[in-house]
Chains A and B, each alone.
Chain A
Amino acid sequence: MTTYLYEKDLRQMKYNILISTRHDLMVREIADRLGVGPNQVRLAMIRRFDMSLLENLPSRYEQGQKMADAGSRVAKELGCELFSRFIPFVEEERMQALCSEVRDMIDTGLPEEEAITTGKRRIREAILQ
């Protein structure tokens, strides 16, 4: 029941949105942050987001940089709220689980840097899957 009449392949148009100057900057920043190629980020975005969200991504990203994850350094490093609420790559519950996992790791004595690296890898997997 979830199929539509007149469905069309939107990937080309979504890609057109993503290659404008502002979007391109944002995509490259996110790619750097995650440590993957920009095309992989674009692919994840095209697969997941609808067109108006794609158009709005740069302003959401800016807002996220300003507002998200205030207070906690670990959350800021991982981008807990940034990648779930502001740029909804991962559902919020799953992101919460990932973040608390990293915190548990730190609590159990793992060095902070190592825990964050592991957490980042998990988030990257969640984003790219």
Chain B
Amino acid sequence: MSESIIWYLREFLRTEWIRKFLLAKTDPLVTPPYFKDYPTLTGKECTACYQCMMICPAPGAIAVLRHDDGWRPEIYPGHCIRCGLCVEACPEDVLQSGRVLEAQHRDRTGFRATFHLSIDREICMRCGNCCISCPVGREGEPDGAVLKIEKGGVQILNSDLCTGCKTCEVNCPNRGIRVARVVEGVQEAAA
């Protein structure tokens, strides 16, 4: 027992403790610069390549929308989980968050992705939601579409145009269309 009391006495008689006790001050409530907050726009031009939508792991967190002066990604707080993957995936540095962009430039890291579309003919009920919702090839040449309803079923026209944005997957009522997004994290060797 005596050891314990002496221990506590010694604990409370340390100069550091006394100083802290008398001059107690809560740490300032600052957000450190390295915190990955919601992605913000850097002001660079978005080319609507949908890489951010492709990699986003949370449902409904990001959408690339068309405004009067061009395309712009929109982040929805309440859905966004602040993982920072969209910042890393964006090839044009449109978004930034914390130190992610800085670290990416420093380490020359990035993601490389390939996409594979597959349609389950047995489940597909040919509603055409996927073709209508697909954001690729909206204007311009009519051949620039990824999907098309033809011969009584969905046909994949140009699978190399697919950006993996999974809009078709989300809009498909019965999971007939699937986009496999094979992503790998890569790093260029230091020059």
- The answer on direct contact between A and B (beta carbons under 8 Å) is no
Residues of chain B touching chain A, judged by Cβ–Cβ distance below 8 Å, are: none
